[in-house]
Structure 1
Amino acid sequence: MTDGETTTLDDEIVARARIHAREVRDEHELAIDLGAIEWAVSTRARRRAGACRWHADREVATIVLARRAYERYEWPAFAGIVRHELVHAWEFQQFGESGHGDRFRKRAAALEAPRYCETFVEPRYVLRCLEADCDWRAKRHRASKPVKTPDQYRCGACGGGYEVEHVASDRTWTTASGYGGAKAALGDDW
């Protein structure tokens, strides 16, 4: 930094992530080219704490970290997210693709990285099976088609019907008209 410049929270996140990435690479002898990784911070992300995007044309991975997750988690948990995304970057660099399969699972375990990152905000909606012997639930952060028109979709486990709950208000619906009614009733509180 030069005189008069201040460090932002995003600068802090990227700096800590880069330092941690170097430590992980060196400690675990991870064959990853840190020079071919770009770092970014998302101020909009609400669900994913991190993401890794591969730009095959440039052979560069961009690791995007969520500012809200950094603010919500303690450093050890957030460092796990950085390691998780490093595994994706490593897979992209080595194999041109990445997922959460066996290869990812093994490398993530070696780096003590979580296989999946927990969400860091409460969902806006919860889908819940209506069958008595089924405990299927799904969380949604946006009003997707299954949220707006639950009568056109089925439970992900047993195939039964499900209801949608608007978490902030506890209102539930099972049809498209129920969704519209709940949204209209809540107005500005939607």
Structure 2
Amino acid sequence: MTDGEEYTLADEIVARARIHAREVVDEYELAVDLGALEWDVSPRARRRAGACRWHADREVATIVLARKAYEAYEWPAFAEIVRHELVHAWEFQRFGESGHGSRFRERAAALEAPRHCDAFAEPRYVLRCLTHSCDWQAERHRASKPVKSPDQYRCGACNGALEVEHAVSGRTWTTASGYGGAKAALGDEW
């Protein structure tokens, strides 16, 4: 930063994450090459609090942290997300691949990092099975294909028909035209 420039929230997030990463590498003896680790902040992410991308051509991992998660969580919970993504970086650097399998679970447990993170934003849509004996549902933050055309998809648990609810308004639909109608009726509230 030069004189006159102000630090942004993204700068704060990256600075705290880098400091925590150094502490984790030292305290837990996690063999992550911090020199081959890049950081980024997503201002849009709503579903994933963090992600780790592997650039095999450069042998560099990039940890992307969600600004909205940082705003929603207290630091100890956000630090768990950083540790979770550091485990992915370690796997990428050491094995060239990463997932949430047994190797990940074992290392994440040693770092007191969750296997999955709690939701930090309310979903825009909720998909539900219409079969009375089935309680399957899924949350969505974006208008995915099943949200836009629920009649083209079936419940993964019982093969029943689906209904979608716009979480804020409570408006529901079961067809593509129902989606269009709800979107048109809600206008700016969509």
Q: TM-score range by the shorter chain?
A: over 0.9
After TM superposition, the score normalised by the length of structure 1 is 0.96
Aligned residues: 190
Matches within 5 A, 1:49-68: 49-68=49-68
Question: Which residue is equivalent to 1:188?
Answer: 188
5+ unaligned residues in a row in structure 1: which ranges?
A: none
Matches within 5 A, 1:1-190: 3-190=3-190
Alignment partners' CA distance in 2, 1:102 and 1:66: 26
Query: 1:8, CA displacement in angstroms?
Result: 2.0
3-state SS of paired residue (1:155):
coil
3-state SS of paired residue (2:172):
strand
Q: 1:23 to 1:152 in 2, by over 3 A?
A: same
Alignment partners' CA distance in 2, 1:7 and 1:182: 41
5+ unaligned residues in a row in structure 2: which ranges?
A: none
Alignment partners' CA distance in 2, 1:169 and 1:73: 26
3-state SS of paired residue (2:163):
strand
Alignment partners' CA distance in 2, 1:5 and 1:151: 52
Alignment partners' CA distance in 1, 2:124 and 2:2: 43
Q: CA RMSD in A?
A: 1.2
Query: 1:129, CA displacement in angstroms?
Result: 0.8
Q: Quick one: percent identity of the two aligned structures?
A: 83
3-state SS of paired residue (1:169):
coil
Deviation per CA, 1:155-182: give whole Å up to 9, x if none: 1211111110000110111111211121
3-state SS of paired residue (2:182):
helix
